[in-house]
Amino acid sequence: MQARVSSHFAPRAASAREALLEALDSDRYLALLTGLDQCFSGPAAVLAEQAAGAVLPPAVRRARRRVRRRAQRAGRAPAGQQRETALHETRKAVKDARYAAEAARPAGGRKTRRLARRMKKLQAALGNHHDAVAARDAARARKRLRRLGVRRRHWTAENKPDTGWPSLTATECTVAELVSQGSTNQQAADQMFVSMHTVAFHLRQIFRKLGISSRVELTRIALQERPDVDEDHKVT
């Protein structure tokens, strides 16, 4: 089994290594190194010598303004995928603002602590919204599959296990199969007619149920559970 997994990922590893070496020889990487040198000798080094109370609060304010701009952008976005993407970007900005405020609490005082609490609550609310959208997209995917004549066995609430391969839902099985074939989240989303964020949500659920943390482990388990998958991991 280990040999099969290794042979499956060996070409990808070789290709990634070649791409990495090419990137390290690129002008872009040399520019990055030059920028880092300037960082240690430029304004950033001067900021590092300043008091936290003078540097951190402005950084928190910038993070808060970024949240406001992205939230306004999400409010103006048309309903559908554009708005969901904008809300996802807002959620990332909220997370950054929360961590910035939490890091600055010793120097920022009461207002910074209050902002950190608010950002934490807003991050949770946006996360719940994202999960709800993922569940909706999963239901739409199942409906489209049914129209195409695809039927899968469904476990009832009474006999469905909590962990292991049998605990996966039909949609999670589809995601697991596509990922074990080497599909990226975006490629899997395109094949399932859902958003990339929905695939990421299901992948987290799969990892939790299987007690794993990587795609390599998922591929190994999929090969064990799906003997009908051939050497190229093609689902027929």
Q: 30 and 114: one domain?
A: yes
Joined together, the tokens standing for residue 52 give: 């936290």
- Res. 230: pLDDT tops 50: no
pLDDT tens-digit map of 13-67: 888 888 888 888 888 888 888 887 777 665 555 555 556 666 678 888 899 999 9
Q: What is the pLDDT of residue 132?
A: 81
Q: What is the pLDDT of residue 56?
A: 77
Domains identified in the chain, total number: 2
Element containing residue 117 per DSSP (H, E) = helix 81-147
Task: Measure CA 138 to chain center.
Answer: 17
Q: What is the pLDDT of residue 145?
A: 73
Tell me the three state secondary structure of residue 51. coil
Q: 128 and 47: one domain?
A: yes
Average pLDDT, the chain: 81
Quick one: average pLDDT of 138-156? 67
Specify the CATH number for the domain of residue 192. 1.10.10.10
- Asked whether residue 64 is domain-assigned, the answer is yes
- Asked whether residue 128 is domain-assigned, the answer is yes
Q: 114 and 167: one domain?
A: no
Q: How far apart are CA 93 and CA 69, in angstroms?
A: 10
Q: 128 and 165: one domain?
A: no
- Res. 227: pLDDT tops 60: no
Range of the domain at 221: 152-225
- Residue where one domain finishes, among candidates 132, 165, 195: 132
Q: 156 and 128: one domain?
A: no
- Asked whether residue 139 is domain-assigned, the answer is no
Q: 24 and 115: one domain?
A: yes
For 102, other C-beta atoms within 10 Å of its C-beta total: 17
- Res. 154: pLDDT tops 70: no
Q: 123 and 158: one domain?
A: no
pTM of the entire predicted model: 0.45
- Residue where one domain finishes, among candidates 99, 132, 165: 132
pLDDT tens-digit map of 57-67: 888 889 999 99
